[in-house]
Every structure is written in C-alpha cells, then in structure tokens.
Amino acid sequence: MSTLILFTLVALACSMNSLADQSRSYPFSIESEKQGDDGHRIVARNNGPAPISVMVSLAESRNIKADRPFPVFAVVPPRGGILHLAHLRPAMTGTGYSFGTRSSWMLGDFNARQSSDAMYRLPYRDGMAFRIGQAPGGPVSTHITPESEHAVDITMPEGTPVLAARGGLVIDTEASQVHAAQTPDMMAKANMVRIQHVDGTIAVYAHLAPGGVQVYPGQRVATGTQIGLAGSTGYSSGPHLHFAVQTVVRTGDGLTMVSLPFVFYVGDPPKVFAPRSGMLASADYSSEARVPAVQATAEVVAGVRPAQEAVAAAGNRGTNVSPQVLAGIRSRLLDIPVWQWAGIMIAVFFLLILLDRVRRIWRRQPPSVVPQPAMRSRSAPEPVSHRLSSRDRLVVACGGDRQRAERLQEYEYRRAPRISDEEAAQRAWERLQRERH
C-alpha cells in the first residue's frame, strides 16, 4: 500500500506540471552565456509554437551583482523568440565569482486572462448527445487538483469524433499512448491535444484513442474542426473525453497550471449554460435549441442504477415483486435450524476477531520513508483518473504529506476502532474538507 501511495504522489506531481514527459523534446532552452569581462547573461530561446512562461532563480551565488531582482518571471515569445532574462556581474572587480540557476517553465502565458464573452461549443458533431459525468458542483473522484477543478468528463464511445470547442492554435499533442488503467503510473500517459485561444487560455482534450490525434503542433483550427477521436488512454476507467480550459499563473516563487470556469453554448442563436454533472447535452447548432437540464443522479451518471429506481420500475410494469421476494427469503431463513444459526454466529465472531488482530498488527508496522518527488520543469497532461482510493485522496488533500495523512487516519481509528481502512481514510478526508471550508 505504501508503494501505491508513493507512485500516486509522484504521478500527481507530474500531472501538476503538465507535459513534463515532453520537456526533453520541446524546443526551449535556458542558457548562461559569457560576456567577455562583463560577466554572464541568462538567455531563453523558444523555437516552439507556444509562448513559454518561465521562472529563473539564483542558487549558491558568490560575489554576484544582478541587473534585476530574482526570481525572474518572463514570457518568452514563440517561433524563434529570444529573451535576455538577466545580466550578472561580479560585485567586486578583481575577485572571482560563481553562481548557479534553477528554472521551471510551462507552455502558456501567465498574463493570459479568459475573455468575458468566451464560450465553447460541445466538442462533438451536430445531432450527437452525450451525458456529462464529472463536472464542477457535482460528485468528483479525480478532479481534485487546481488544473482539473473546473474540468468536465463527457462519456462517449471510443472512436467518436472530437471537435474543437473553440478555435485557436494547436500548441502540443501526445499521440503515442495505447493503454489505459487505473494505476498511478498511467496518470501522465493520456493521448491529448492542447489548443491555445486568442485570449491566451488553453483547452485540453484528453484520453483520446490510440491513433486518435488528428492535428499537429503549429496547426490553426477553427471552431468545430475535427481534432481527434475519443478513447480511453492513461488513467481511465472507460471511453470518455476530458475537457478543460487552463492558464498558467504565478504562485509565490513558482508557476502552476490552473483550470478556469467556462460555459458551453447550443442553438442558433446561441444559448449558454454551465456544464453540470448529469446533463444530457445534445449538439444542435442549426436551429433554436434548449439548454440541457440535469436529468440524472450522480449514481446514474456513474453507471449504477439505484435499487430504489429498479423496484419502482418493476412496480410501474405491474409486477408485484417485493412481497414475493420478502416472503421467499423469510421462509428460507425460518427453515434454518437453531444449531446452524449458532454455528454461523460463532464463526462470524471469530472471523471478526481475526480480522481485527490482523489490522492491529498491520498498523503497528513502522511507516516506510517516502522520498519527496523531484521538481519537474514542465507540467504533464491532465490526468484524469477515475476513482482514486480514499487513502490516495487523503494523501493528495494533505499536499503529499503522507505522515500527516496517517495521523489523521489514526485519529479516526481511535474514534471508531472497528471501521475499515478505507472508511477511516474517507472520514479523515471529509473532516479535512470541512475544516478547510
């Protein structure tokens, strides 16, 4: 279990710095150049199609004088952009000097702000209708980090054409993934397309099918252009499209990617609506259309039909099911001899004692030391992941602090000694959420 938590933390660290796996191939570099006897200058070069937000800080400097305060934040323009980030000189002439630098960068412009009139068409063809699963304001299992907080999951069959919800420039793609699984190592392995809009925000279309990416970086696409095929790659439980609108923001001395609220539109003239879990959204752009309403509970969205609904449906068909079923069960229970009931109860009692002893032995084991994940220079595509375990969600909510998560879980054990591990982690997570709000 500790290994699973370690893998989850590492994967989440990668997902919070989107596109980390492609940082080696993206044509961007930060270099320190000697300027004769006049010190060094730090230069950023960007030969890719997207602007790059960069942060540079000094590390272990000696006898250094800089022409500007550090850390330095800047946006490097695309397609051959060169930016002088800082000039470093010796503070005292005739004396040696030394310095090191640390840097991180992300695709996008941290000055970007979403237009007030921005709206997005449904990312599939006219006449198609699909249900929205995870969405803001509804039950979520994986949209718990800043870059996915306002994302939506749209359930659709594999191979469904995916369209650009808003026109812009394709700045990045991932098309080499072929597998899907609900394991932490798959969180940064989804096929995806990233499109930058005119206001600088970036749309992410993730979990595309193997061979389902149909555009390339540097290509301009209009609203409604087909960009790929829906699928299930990366951390995924089934075919769906993960859609989010993101931007880069400065956070203290660093950079991070966050998701933004957005609205879809349907009909002609357009009518806008905020996506909500349970909506059955029909793509109709040739005539006047109605805004979709929430038509299902969270249980139905998750694909589980509630037992109450099943009983009601049976009653509506005129089948008197409940009395017959209950009478049959009651008759079978009454036929069981008393000595068998006594044996069953004794067996259950000893089984519970054994399980409780195993749980206590497991809890006494010393915690393993989890190394902190290394800082990545870029972010990896939004993961989606469906259904992190309660313990993994608690570790994520604690900011990766596994020891704090274990303390919170131990507290729940003391309050209710007979609850399971998952129940204790769930109660600790819920308590943490209530304290934050």
User: 152: Cβ–Cβ under 8 A, 6 or more apart, which residues?
Assistant: 132, 133, 134, 135, 136, 242, 243, 244, 275
- Give 123's pLDDT tier (boundaries 50, 70, 90): very high
Buried b (16+ CB within 10 A) or exposed e, 112-139: bebeeebbbbbbbeeeeebbbbbbbebe
Please choose, from the candidates 259, 260, 275, 262, the residue with its C-alpha nearest in 3D space to the C-alpha of residue 381: 259
- Give 78-108 pLDDT, tens digit per residue: 999 999 999 999 988 878 889 999 999 999 9
- State how far the Cα of 56 lies from the Cα of 86, in Å rounded to an integer: 9
Who has greater pLDDT, 365 or 107?
107
pLDDT value for 213: 97
pLDDT value for 136: 92
Name the CATH topology of 120-301. Glucose Permease (Domain IIA) (2.70.70)
Residue that has been written with the tokens 């412009």 in this structure: 109
- Give 285-314 pLDDT, tens digit per residue: 999 888 998 865 444 344 333 333 433 343
Greatest Cα pair distance, the chain, in angstroms, is 101
pLDDT at 154 over 60: yes
- Give 330's pLDDT tier (boundaries 50, 70, 90): low
pLDDT value for 367: 58
Residue that has been written with the tokens 């389902």 in this structure: 212
* Domain range annotation of the chain: 13-107, 120-301, 365-436
- State how far the Cα of 227 lies from the Cα of 170, in Å rounded to an integer: 10
pLDDT value for 41: 93
The predicted model scores a pTM of 0.63
Question: How does strand 254-259 pair with strand 280-282?
Answer: unpaired
pLDDT value for 233: 94
| DSSP codes of every residue in 288-330 | --PPP-B-S-HHHHTT---HHHHHHHHHHTT---HHHHHHHHH
Lowest mean pLDDT of 118-132, 208-222, 243-257, 404-418, name the range.
Answer: 404-418
Cα atoms in the 13 Å half-sphere on the side-chain side of 98: 1
- Give 38's pLDDT tier (boundaries 50, 70, 90): confident
Q: Which CATH number fits domain 13-107: 3.90.1520, 2.60.40, 2.30.29, 3.40.720?
A: 2.60.40
Q: How far is CA 37 from the centre of its chain?
A: 49
- State how far the Cα of 419 lies from the Cα of 125, in Å rounded to an integer: 48
- State how far the Cα of 182 lies from the Cα of 190, in Å rounded to an integer: 12
* pLDDT over 90 percentage in the chain: 48
Give, in order, the Cα–Cα distances in Å from 164 to each of 126, 252, 360: 13, 33, 53
Q: Rounding to the nearest 10 degrees, give the CA dihedral for residues 249, 404, 380, 117.
A: -40
- Give 361's pLDDT tier (boundaries 50, 70, 90): confident
